[in-house]
Structure 1
Amino acid sequence: MPRTPQSTYRLQLHKDFTFDDAAAIANYLRELGVSHVYSSPYLQAAPGSTHGYDVVDHRRVNEELGGVAAHKRFCEKLGETRLGQVLDIVPNHMSLGRENHYWWDVLENGPSSRYASFFDIDWQPQEERLRDKVLVPVLADQYGRVLQAGGIEVKRSGNRFLVCASEQQFPTSPLSLTAILPRAAEYAKSDTLSFLAASYGRLPVPEYWDRRLILTRHRDKTVLNKMLGRLCAEEPAACEAIDRAVAELNANQDALDDFLSQQNYRLSYWKTADQQLGYRRFFDVNTLIGLRIEREHVFEETHELILGWLKEGVLDGIRIDHPDGLRDPLEYFRRLRAAAPEAWIVGEKILEPGEFLRQEWPIEGTSGYDFLNVALNILVKPEGVAELDRIYAEFTDRSTDFHAIAHDKKLAVTQEALGSDVNRLTSIFVNICETNRNQRDYTRAEIRRAIREVASCFTVYRTYVVPSRNEITSEDREVITAATECAKANRSDIDGGLFDFLRDVLTMQVTGKEESEFVLRFQQFTGPVMAKGVEDTAFYCYNRLTAMNEVGADPSRQGSTIEEFHAYNAKMQATHPLTMTTLSTHDTKRSEDVRARMAVLSEIPEVFAHAIYRWSENTTQHRASFLDKGTQYFYYQTLIAAWPITPDRMKAYMQKAMREAKEQTTWVANNKDYEDAVNNFIDGTFSDKAFLAEVETFVVGIKRAGWMNSLSQTLLKLTGPGVPDQYQGTELWDLSLVDPDNRRPVDYDLRRRLLKEVHVASLEQIMQRIDEGLPKLWTIHRGLTLRRRHPERFGETAAYTPIIATGRKAEHAVAFLRGDSVATIVPRWTMSLNNDWADTKIVIPEGRWHNHLTDEPLLGGTHLLSQLLAEFPVALLTKEEE
């Protein structure tokens, strides 16, 4: 079996959908036409994980999914059904907690831990009181108040001592046991306890880079722990004395405070994390700590199991989560490629409009967000989107300048959620300025503001400057220069020379050890700024047409031309013909079918405007006076696109959307009055039969056009350059919203039954059952089966050639050839097309052809679209072999 997939099917594994559950649908997936199962991360994750990105052990298979035995059964079943396997992996970060033995060791031993070098921790921050300590922001209140209230205590568990706080447990430093064991030795009159107390106190304290001494310390500590355990087992009086000393420690606040100050971590109020956290996180998630994957021993230990599976053929490919979080993505991919030369590798690289994957990266492509946005932009109508600009501004009285909103939200997130990252960068840059006499008078406050502004002006996730290789592209230089000029223009209150100096450091015009460190860390910082500021905030504040608010998108665009669509595909075929293409993922803000229906609004903006103004007026009795028009606009749009939907699903979604927007309420400061008002509004509208009847009527009027959009983008995905991915369950109409809504259980019994039925149904019957999703299932099944049987028609050598329609409705048709043997023809803007193609036609190359979706034969030459698309909304033509 070729290692490069012909298609993938994404499965979200968790304790309620295990390896055995996945194995049970293998036959169905094979019959559907899939070539490879594409699984969410399934190494050992934190307990109860619903997604697998919170890995705690890279050397074990997740026990909640069934462990090693179930994994073996799953892989054997895939082999039996001739399905390959692709796995999502997480190199950037790990989850914290006791289950992560690396992290537990770091908390116990600090910089002297065997695993201190595994994590991206700043052991020497500006705040002296945090030197050689890890901030652990878990307390519900200020540390002193929690301590005074008895919320922190020490407990013995066998031969170990634990600090217990906020329903969590933390290890104790071996050196700190001198506060317990000497007193216990006195009570027990035990020379052995005295010896152990002194021995713990004499353990060496090496730095993380002194591997030999670290291992010596670990050996000695292990011996002492065993001796203590044996003593407790053989001399109960010694244990009783220890427990007495621990009880006295807990009863004395000053003594307990002193004991806690001796630990390698500092317990703190959870709110301190934003400004004082000393380790790099995944975005702003305190429980996900950054890995130093660039260190060879870290790479080898965390990838051993994955690389073994690739070598053995258990896996054919891997998807790399968040490569932009890595210190040097190119070096990582080179190391990965060297270790797995035959593997199909794609990276979750988020590309902004006009940005393309670096060709020097030795991987097949991205995880498909770039295609997703290109496909949607070809379906929205530019004139209608422009009209929605006016409607949105008039109805909500909000700004329609998305880029200004995005900039402001990025700036806010650098001040709040990512404040600790800014502080770390600021400290490095202060040191740089101190060693350059022309810059040494810039203050810490100025530098901090300048860094925030430059990061907020970035138009892409990050650049890829590598000082150790003196590596910078013209693209990187242009991005950095544009961002610093933008920042300089925005902040006239800051000396422009500071921005020039930042530019020079980031472009390696000024070099040095500190400068290199700043460049690398700044590049790891701008991605989280984009993700948290734009995708998780601005995308919920700017709601003109929320179908366009998708990862890697510019929601302010007016759509794209057919020429731009063809140019993108031609470039993909030339540079990354085996990239992944997708329409829905576990992280998309809305499912493909929600976006497809919502795109129809760009064809009927005036109808949409009349509806929302009428609905706003007719629902006044359900609405609190302080419920703003922006919330209403967002709600009506979502209701249309996701209908039918239950009140509970809508409430959960609206709460998440509002908290992400951070305008009326937030995750950390809930505005209960506003959230209750929104819930009451939802309940009121769902109990209003007249209102629901109007919503139903509106949806009935556009849903067929939405289905046509869905079929069009589905066939574009199946036949365009790349490897198409199908997100679980979306082979039927799927009106899911953002997670966790899009991770609801999938009814595979229904899908099995419908797949059997489409085999025997006529096209007329399939179209009659359009409400059930049969046309989509049929299109996917036929498209995937064709790819699996004829991979040569879609691979690296299958050229991409636009087919240009002619006639009065030519702008409604998108068509192209793959090689000389496959033709794809799909409609767009079908609401305004109204099934009238008039004289529009296309030319198919000479030869005998076959419509793979209708089983009709046809000859090459000129064909009217009204005839080609008479029986089925989209056409997939294949040339018969000579």
Structure 2
Amino acid sequence: MSPPRSLARLQFHAGFTLDDAVGVVGYYARMGISHLYASPILRARRGSTHGYDVVDCNEVNPEIGGEEALRRLVASLREHGMGLIVDIVPNHMGVGSENAWWMDVLRHGRESRYANHFDIDWLAPDPLVRGRLLLPILGAGYDLTLREGHLRLGKRRGEWVLRLYDDYLPLSPETAAALADDAERTHDAKTDEGRARLHALIEKQHYRLAFWKLASDMVNYRRFFDINELAGLRIERTAVFEDTHRTLFRLYAEGLIDGVRCDHVDGLADPRRYCRQLRHRLDRLRTQRPAGAPRDGAYVVVEKILAEDETLRLDWRTDGTTGYEFMDQVSAVLHDEGGEAPLTDLWRRLTGDASDFATQAVNARRQILVDSFETELDRTARALFAAARADVATRDVSQSAIRRVLGELLVHFPVYRTYAGGAGRDAFDEAVFARAVEGALRTIRLEDADLLHLVAGWLGGEAPRSLPPGPVRRARERAIAVFQQATSPVAAKAVEDTAGYRYGRLLSRNEVGVDAARLAIPAETFHAHAAQRQATFPHNLLATATHDHKRGEDLRARLAVLSEVAERWVITVERWRTRHADLRQRADGRMAPSASDEVMLYQMLVGAWPLSLAPNDDDGIERFATRVAAWQRKALREAKRWTRWTSPNEPYEDACEDFLRAMLSGGAAEEIHAFAEYIATPGAANGLAQAVLRLTTPGVPDLYQGTDYWDFSLVDPDNRRPVDFLARSASLERDPSPVEALATWRDGAIKQGVIMRLLCARKGHPELFARGAYRPLEATGPAAGKVLAFVREHRGQKLVVAVGRHLAPWLAGSSAPAIPADRWQGTTLELPPGKWSSLLDIGKRDGGVVPLAELMGELPVAAWLSSK
């Protein structure tokens, strides 16, 4: 059963538990899924809806049912011949009173057993923080918080604690022991004397309390991105690795889980070492697994964002990535490069911003360093300064100068991170640094150019291992590790969560792992990626929707149509801009929404418009407006131009929402609905093509919860709404053929039927899909450019797949994504010799040159299987 044939991702939380999942196992088994794919299952913070804020690595989350519920789920899976893959979080933990390790650190400081479990800089230069842990958890300044009585002494389970709002902080044993029975009265902050005593007590603790907004300037623990509530782990330490993985290893040894998805692997000090260590430990446990649990190796994939020319390192011993690069490739091949010029021109004219996406990303990186990562920049600069001071040849280099050149390197860094170690940088990482240095040279002071090259050398250009053992070598290795852990959060926050919300040429290309500067790729490039994947990581996960996506997979597929009808879209947007001018209002000194925010809003409205929503359905329009308004407010804050999470500009945000609601209630709904209808059927064809390519190209397809129907979800939490499994089970029971389902395509059954048939084909012919060679096929004839086709072959058995693309000229404005036979007139595809059966219920036929119309049968997709 390993590696998986296919995964179905489920998000677990109090509203959807492991026992709830038992009820859908049968559905997924009928669909042909081989493994469920669970969000993190270890104990998370109370009320967590995602599970990435783990607070106890040694307990299955009781809010989702605990270990007994896990055993019930696995028993059901085994009855259906299925397995379980779980998401794990090696980079960080949620902190606070629910995390016993964290509380022990607060209680005992550097003497805590767990002081080195978390990535804490106990030697921070600030004397008020040195040797203590800065806690940026106050809702206001420290003095005001103290005076208003939000800090007070109290008892919890018979022990003195420091009460903060509705939570508590531990006191060091020494200070707690010195408190008299009347300490609560003598330390009452309502009086000057009591407040002074309470302040003196707090100052003796192993932590320093601070206003939460000071985190980016002062925090002395590594965070997950800029989230104060998630503290980085030192997973590179063996003790930490064992303590955090003990339960996961036990669950694997007992046959309850069959593999893992490693979250945010780029946050680790040494991803290669971690992945190899994980693989080694899982391999050693295989023989302990019980009968009925597969013993042929755990499935291990890592969440990794790859640049266009970057590949996952083979020596990590993983099965691949979680598939963001595939999500990029399959999206790009469905876009039409002919729309690039008009869409770019529209964006630049209306916004007055001629910057390309690369420039937006650089500007965002520069802002992010100041707004969110000053502490991380200082930490990295100090590590490099230590490396400079350790060598007499560079002892005169100043920390300020290092910080300047380091900042420019980070601003121009073209990938998420490099992987230099003791041996220095490999060829790919060397090329990355060359690009970063080239960019930095354009923006640094002339006097810093030599230092820039020197710093680049310290960061792996010169192998630390070539140096003699001693302080210089240790300092270089430390600097490399700290730098590499700093680049990925800066990239993620700048590219995904800032530039991606500022640059709105076409939002279907603003997605996790996607370079929005590249609108489209040719079929040849898509084929090359697929062939390379088969050769290197044939079990790589293939995703088109995730818990992190910014827009649902079918929303993106529909917006891709705008690249085909760009001229019409340009005219439409210009008309709407003029028509709705009176709805804009001045807020905080500027018009709301801005031109860029308005253009992006129009795209989201036509892209996300529900297939069943009529423009005169007032209740439905209100529900839709509420969903879009939530997306809009989040998007405005992520862009960090007129408002942001740390300093919300509510007048601007409210004015933008007023514009949205006034527009939808004032007659614009009719026109928006009409345009959404115009692109709906070619968008649906794109959605089917995307699904078929995910299910048939080399790799393991991932089916995110609910996306077996059309997925027009927005950014989280909208993409984590409850799934109607009863409706899905009912339509699966009816099981119309895909051609029959064309008539009622809006209900999603056509997508479900196509997915089910291909998943069942994977189940029936696992070796073909797992090992089959990949070869492009070329159609001939007048419509050859509108089909992407390939053949998979293994030991004489073959699969031919063909999907239509760029079909807007044929389908825009039509009532269904059905392609009339005459559209393919004169266009053919050659099936290899043999007997062939359609996997989508079109029929049977012999090989040879076949008209496309006969292969497709009105569907925009086709899949044919040969007999051996």
Partner residue, 1:777: 752
Whole-Å Cα distance in 2 between the matches of residues 59 and 763 of structure 1?
46
Amino acid at match of 2:675: F
SS at match of 2:136: strand
- C-alpha separation between the residues in 2 aligned to 1:133 and 1:838? 75
Q: Output the TM-score relative to the length of structure 1.
A: 0.90
Q: Provide the secondary structure at the position in 2 that maps to 1:287.
A: strand
What is the distance in 1 between the residues matched to 2:361 and 2:487?
13
1:317-332 equivalent positions in 2, closer than 5 A? 317-332=259-274
Number of equivalences: 816
Question: In 1, Cα distance between the equivalents of 2:782 and 2:411?
Answer: 45
- Note if 1:642 corresponds to 2:608: yes
CA distance in 1, matches of 2:107, 2:447: 44
The CA deviation at 1:148 is 2.9
> Which letter does structure 2 place at the counterpart of 1:816?
F
The Cα of 1:596 is off from its aligned counterpart by 0.3
Q: 232, 248, 263: which is aligned to 1:306?
A: 248
- Aligned equivalent of 1:372: 327
Identify if the C-alpha distance between structure 1 residues 763 and 242 changes in structure 2 by more than 3 Å, giving closer, same or farther: closer
Which position in structure 2 is the counterpart of 1:651?
A: 629
Unaligned runs of 5+ in 1: 185-239
User: For residue 364 of structure 2, what is the amino acid of its counterpart?
Assistant: K
Which one of the candidate residues 753, 776, 788 is aligned to 1:802? 776
SS of match in other structure, 1:59: strand
| 2:231 aligned partner | 289
1:136-172 Cα offsets, whole Å, 9 max, x none, are 1111222123223333222123442111224331000
Amino acid at match of 1:148: R
Alignment match, 2:151: 152
How high is the sequence identity, in percent, across the aligned residues?
38
Q: Would you say 1:339 and 2:281 are equivalent positions?
A: yes
With structure 2 as the length reference, what TM-score do the two structures score?
A: 0.92
Query: Which residue of 1 is the match for residue 578 of structure 2?
Result: 617
C-alpha contact 2:91 2:267 (8 A) present in aligned 1: yes
Secondary structure of the residue aligned to 1:559 is coil
Kindly state the Cα deviation for residue 243 of structure 1 after the two structures are TM-superposed. Answer: 5.2
Match among 303, 321, 327 for residue 348 of structure 1: 303
- Equivalence for 1:671: 649
Q: Output one character per residue of 1:357-405: Cα deviation in whole Å (capped at 9) or x when no partner.
A: 1111101000010001000110000011232111111122222411011
- Residues 837 and 843, structure 2, Cα contact 8 Å, conserved in 1: yes
Q: Are 2:352 and 1:410 equivalent residues in the alignment? A: no
3-state SS of paired residue (1:621)? helix
Residue type at the aligned position of 2:764: R
The letter for the 2-side match of 1:786 is: A
**Alignment match, 2:683:** 706
Distance 1:741 1:42 in 2: 21
Q: Where do 1:211-610 residues align within 5 Å?
A: 240-241=181-182, 251-341=193-283, 342-436=297-391, 439-467=394-422, 470-509=423-462, 511=464, 512-610=473-571
Distance in 2 (alpha carbons) for counterparts of 1:441 and 1:598? 56
> Could you tell which deviates more after superposition, 798-807 or 138-147?
138-147
The alpha-carbon distance between structure 1 residues 425 and 566, as it changes in their structure 2 partners (threshold 3 A), is same
Q: Which amino acid aligns with 2:802?
A: I
State whether residues 11 and 38 of structure 2, in contact with CA within 8 Å, keep that contact through their aligned partners in structure 1: yes
SS at match of 1:765: helix
Code of the residue aligned with 2:835 in structure 1: it is: R
Q: Post-superposition shift, 1:763?
A: 4.5
- Alignment partners' CA distance in 2, 1:44 and 1:304: 14
**1:284 offset after TM fit, Å?**
0.6
Contact 1:155 1:246 in 2 (8 A): no
Residues 673 and 245 of structure 1, relative CA distance in 2, 3 Å threshold = closer
Aligned to 1:631: 597
1:227 matched residue in structure 2: none
- For 1:825, the equivalent position in structure 2 comes to 802
Structure 1, 318-327 or 411-420: larger mean CA deviation: 411-420
Structure 2 SS opposite 1:117: coil
Distance of 1:86 and 1:549 partners within structure 2 = 28
Q: Which residue of 2 aligns with 1:72?
A: 71
Check whether the contact 1:439–1:498 (CA below 8 A) recurs between aligned residues.
Answer: no
Residue 556 of structure 1: how far off its partner (Å): 1.0
Gaps of 5+ in 2: 284-296, 465-472, 611-620, 812-818
Larger Rg: 1
SS of the equivalent of 2:315 reads coil
1:451 shift after superposition: 1.2
Does the CA-based 8 Å contact 1:450-1:494 persist in structure 2? Answer: no
SS in structure 2 at match of 1:357: coil
Alignment partners' CA distance in 2, 1:717 and 1:510: 41
Query: CA 1:436–1:872 in 2, change beyond 3 Å: closer, same or farther?
Result: same
Whether contact under 8 Å (1:763, 1:871) holds in the other structure is no
Task: Give per-residue Cα distances to partners, 1:754-804, cap 9 Å, x unaligned.
Answer: 11112xx35443110101112111110000000011101111x31011111
Query: Which amino acid is 2:440 matched to?
Result: A
Offset of residue 439 of structure 1: 4.0
2:699 maps to what in 1? 722
Say whether the 8 Å CA contact 2:186–2:194 is kept in structure 1. no
Residues 152 and 189 of structure 2 are in contact (CA less than 8 Å); yes or no, is this contact kept in structure 1?
Answer: no
1:581/1:494 CA distance change after superposition, 3 Å? farther
**Whole-Å separation in 1 of the counterparts to 2:176 and 2:383:** 36
Q: Distance in 1 between matches of 2:792 and 2:66?
A: 43
1:244 Cα offset (Å) = 5.5
- SS of match in other structure, 2:837: strand
Q: In the superposition, relative to structure 1, how do residues 103 and 878 fare at CA in structure 2: closer, same or farther (>3 Å)?
A: same
CA distance in 2, matches of 1:774, 1:355: 37
Q: Residue type matched to 1:637 in 2?
A: Q
1:72-91 paired onto structure 2 within 5 Å: 72-91=71-90
Deviation at 1:864, TM superposition (A): 1.5
- More displaced, 254-263 or 361-370? 254-263
Relative to structure 2, which stretch is displaced further, 865-874 or 85-94? 865-874
Match of 1:215 in 2: none
Spell out the pairing of 1:675-694 with structure 2 (5 A cutoff).
Answer: 675-689=653-667, 691-694=668-671
Which residue in 2 is equivalent to 1:872?
859
Displacement of 1:245 in angstroms is 5.4
Aligned partners of 1:824, 1:486: CA distance in 2, in Å? 43
| Structure 2 contact 556–607 (Cα < 8 Å) conserved | yes
- Aligned-residue offset at 1:460: 0.8
- Output the CA distance in 2 between the equivalents of 1:148 and 1:598: 54
Q: Structure 2: which amino acid aligns with 1:671?
A: N
The answer to whether the 8 Å contact 1:389/1:400 transfers is no
What is the alpha-carbon distance in structure 2 between the residues aligned to residue 494 and residue 74 of structure 1? 64
Gap change, CA 1:664 and 1:245, over 3 Å in 2? closer
SS at match of 1:794: helix
Question: Which deviates the most, 503-512 or 550-559?
Answer: 503-512
Aligned AA (2:315): E
Q: Secondary structure at the match of 1:465?
A: coil
1:842 aligns with 2:842: no
Q: Tell me how far apart the structure 1 counterparts of residues 365 and 488 of structure 2 sit (CA, whole Å).
A: 11
2:788 counterpart of 1:814: yes
Whichever residue aligns with residue 139 of structure 2, its letter is A
- Which residue does 2:613 correspond to in 1? none
Return the alpha-carbon distance in structure 1 between the equivalents of residues 157 and 282 of structure 2.
44
- The separation in 2 between residues aligned to 1:667 and 1:859, in whole angstroms, is 61
The separation in 1 between residues aligned to 2:252 and 2:173, in whole angstroms, is 41
CA distance in 1, matches of 2:50, 2:581: 40
Q: Match for residue 736 of structure 1?
A: 713
Deviations 1:547-586 (A, max 9, x none): 0011111111131111111100000000000000010000
